[in-house]
Structure 1
């Protein structure tokens, strides 16, 4: 298209309110697609457990009944002795090296009954409603262990001075394997729950953090020296992190895996644009070539092509996509290819009908009379005359491809590693969003699909009106 014709096209296009509206919406989604990594710090697939599963959006806290819900928090205890680290007290032959990392040593002479206690404490404030869970992670490096029996336990002391044992090990004569404390409140054994006075189905985190105020972490080691020589135990303490997943998170909350829904929405625009444009281009190119060749050469080529078109037109589209995607795999590129290959027959018929009108025109007969080849006539004379149909068809085919991919993903036949809007619908449907009336999980992808599809419909309709004068409306 020359600059002059392009200028004429834009002059006519910009007079259409519908076309300009579609263009503005499309530019918005393109902007979101390109800037998604800047608009959100989270990866929509890899970043899981950012908060509790199905956490509410953070802005829910403006309502009084949700104001106390916690966002995700990490209480960190540094491997040092100060306000950011541990306080300590010892009994028996225990010494402490306060240089980072914090290290304590039990050393006893050759006497049966020598024992010691090393107790580390750290206070922190919790001023929110009870969480659904918490996790504790801490590394313990055993530098020396010889002729001793030790045990260790981690307790949480509440504002009402009620202590809860949440982790324990020993008595043992060997280093801890793996050498770290890794605790999830959802996996606390029933034995420890029974000590807390809880039934097996009760939530430990809600019970421990039922009050607001100062809490204390207590890490206690008990060491007993054995007979038969000197007894030594040296342990280096790493950083301890108490992770409390939030019950509210981000702009749109989290899904069942604790992944950020807002990130999935932003990155979904990339997938939908890529799928829609790619599948529409494949479909239009195949339909354009098939229609040009069948319409110009006619006879057996036309007959064979049109019978193939008839077969593809009567096949049910979505069931075919479901079967083929199951056979060829659920890769996003397989889905794009299948959408393109199954969507061209209708456009091929339109192009063929237009070519049948054009091939008897005087300029085609003149070109044939001077000895032009069939390929020259097709690409030099016929193609430019049917391209206006292709421009509009590309734009109008994109919504169908976007909706088809969303339908496949909703039926669990989409690419599981791709953050598409259809995958968001599948997760919402499968993991209780509809039952909980979690509209912030369901409505945004639906609105996004609708707006993006409408933008291409507006653009395609306007292009059709501009390039096909008989369709223009009287303004």
Structure 2
């Protein structure tokens, strides 16, 4: 058996489709393993459909690498993050640096404080920004709520959701900028005008001719905790400087990072395709073996059931199941399995009908071999290559079917899939608005994943059918 397996693998690798399909499968599997082991899938899945989590991110922003092909450079969105911040003793401040290089101003600037704990008196968090020219301005002041009656230290704040401050729309920040321009640059400007034109324009600009031009350089964001007694710990501090481009794959209309959604789509698509095809092939092949060899009433019953299931339309049943039990992943897999086995059962039965009349099967019967032994030791090994090929052949069908159902809005909304990304893109008119980064990547990944298994199926064809070996060698 090992020699046959080794020989079959050599035949498979002798075809260019087999080699290409195997290489693509290794890449898809590697990306899926990376996603499962590195990314917090449960946390990302819960955040994916939470618009509040993505409120700070730019909406419908293209990926940052478009600047390589564009004369007009888009300002990249930058996130400054500090984790496990401890304010105690003489350490009462942290610094985060932003190297600003651009011809346009940021769209907004936000400060987020998540999971703050303190002892002693309630702290006051003050954010000060030092410009490249050395001038500093207070941008935000966050007063942490005092303890409630009966609450004992450490006092916890901002546990459920981070406290968010939109710095670029603060009236106090506008007054501080107006004072800076009046005192240092001899350019009187009202806070109202600063708010109307954008605080970030005056923060990251220098005066010229009654207006401002971008002031490139390193900006230092200093967060200071003013506290009489005690100490303060913050799980995470984030300053987001919103630009016109974001990440490797851009964002959608909600502001979600499409690169994250596309990465999560790898293991989900492979899981649905492989698991469903294995279950469907197992059920279909088993029933086909039993039906073809046993004959009689058993054969009749299995074939009539296969004909009945084969003629029931899948889409109306799936819509009914989704509305009855909800759009869950196990509902989709159950529907695929329930309506996917009949075709394979019918084909397997026809193969077994031919095999059971051969001389070696008759010889096995003559020496008293049981039906189970004949099926397992004599018939199954002859159809095993066909069954393995069917597993691989079914996989792209179920991947495409899941993507189509998600595109129709029938997929599991708790899991980001390529089909769901496409569905929201078309629903949000991404095609008409020119948001190509929202439509092309998931579509291309669906095609590549499906093509991978199609190429593997073509590579297995000379293994299953020796008559085509000469024509398929590389």
* TM-score, normalization by structure 1: 0.71
C-alpha distance in structure 1 between counterparts of 2:383 and 2:89, whole Å = 81
Deviation at 1:283? 0.8
C-alpha distance in structure 2 between counterparts of 1:321 and 1:416, whole Å = 15
Deviation at 1:301? 1.5
Provide the aligned C-alpha RMSD in A: 4.7
Which of 396, 401, 411 is the aligned partner of 2:398? Answer: 401
Contact (CA 8 Å) 2:110, 2:239: kept in 1 or not? yes
Q: 1:379 to 1:325 in 2, by over 3 A?
A: farther
Q: 1:188 to 1:8 in 2, by over 3 A?
A: same
Query: How do residues 181-192 of structure 1 correspond to structure 2 at under 5 angstroms?
Result: 182-185=163-166
- Specify the SS of the correspondent of 1:135: strand
Q: 1:338 to 1:192 in 2, by over 3 A?
A: same
Deviation at 1:420? 2.1
Q: 1:297 to 1:255 in 2, by over 3 A?
A: same
1:338 equivalent to 2:313? Answer no
Which of 389, 397, 415 is the aligned partner of 1:418? Answer: 415
Deviation at 1:461? 2.4
1:427 equivalent to 2:408? Answer no
Which of 118, 126, 131 is the aligned partner of 2:106? Answer: 131
Structure with higher helix content: 2
C-alpha distance in structure 2 between counterparts of 1:292 and 1:64, whole Å = 61
1:262 equivalent to 2:266? Answer no
Q: Tell which deviates more after alignment, 405-414 or 342-351.
A: 405-414
- Specify the SS of the correspondent of 1:413: coil
Partner of 2:177: none
- Specify the SS of the correspondent of 1:134: strand
- Specify the SS of the correspondent of 1:305: helix
C-alpha distance in structure 1 between counterparts of 2:118 and 2:19, whole Å = 65
- Specify the SS of the correspondent of 2:430: coil
Contact (CA 8 Å) 1:142, 1:234: kept in 2 or not? no
Partner of 1:225: none
C-alpha distance in structure 2 between counterparts of 1:44 and 1:179, whole Å = 23
Deviation at 1:455? 1.7
Q: 1:429 to 1:142 in 2, by over 3 A?
A: same
Q: Tell which deviates more after alignment, 440-449 or 313-322.
A: 313-322
Partner of 1:60: 66
1:384 equivalent to 2:381? Answer yes
Q: Tell which deviates more after alignment, 434-443 or 175-184.
A: 175-184
Query: How do residues 302-321 of structure 1 correspond to structure 2 at under 5 angstroms?
Result: 302-321=299-318
Q: How many correspondences in the alignment?
A: 421
1:453 equivalent to 2:428? Answer no
Partner of 2:285: 288
Deviation at 1:381? 1.8
Q: 1:432 to 1:191 in 2, by over 3 A?
A: farther
Q: Tell which deviates more after alignment, 249-258 or 341-350.
A: 249-258
C-alpha distance in structure 2 between counterparts of 1:421 and 1:175, whole Å = 46
- Specify the SS of the correspondent of 1:372: coil
Per-residue Cα deviation, 1:276-305 (whole angstroms, up to 9, x for no partner): 111111111111111111111222221221
Contact (CA 8 Å) 2:392, 2:453: kept in 1 or not? yes
Partner of 1:70: 76
Q: 1:11 to 1:422 in 2, by over 3 A?
A: same
C-alpha distance in structure 1 between counterparts of 2:203 and 2:349, whole Å = 72
Query: How do residues 82-97 of structure 1 correspond to structure 2 at under 5 angstroms?
Result: none
C-alpha distance in structure 2 between counterparts of 1:124 and 1:399, whole Å = 45
Query: How do residues 198-217 of structure 1 correspond to structure 2 at under 5 angstroms?
Result: 211=205, 212-213=214-215
Contact (CA 8 Å) 1:291, 1:348: kept in 2 or not? yes
Partner of 2:12: 13
- Rg larger in structure: 1
Q: 1:389 to 1:58 in 2, by over 3 A?
A: same
In structure 1, stretches of 5+ residues that fail to align are 86-96, 103-121, 146-150, 220-232
Q: Tell which deviates more after alignment, 462-471 or 125-134.
A: 125-134
Q: 1:467 to 1:153 in 2, by over 3 A?
A: closer
* TM-score, normalization by structure 2: 0.71
Deviation at 1:205? 5.9
C-alpha distance in structure 2 between counterparts of 1:286 and 1:385, whole Å = 18
Partner of 1:28: 27
Q: 1:62 to 1:459 in 2, by over 3 A?
A: closer
C-alpha distance in structure 1 between counterparts of 2:305 and 2:438, whole Å = 42
C-alpha distance in structure 2 between counterparts of 1:351 and 1:54, whole Å = 50
Per-residue Cα deviation, 1:410-462 (whole angstroms, up to 9, x for no partner): 22222223232212212322344323222122112211111221121121123
Deviation at 1:179? 7.5
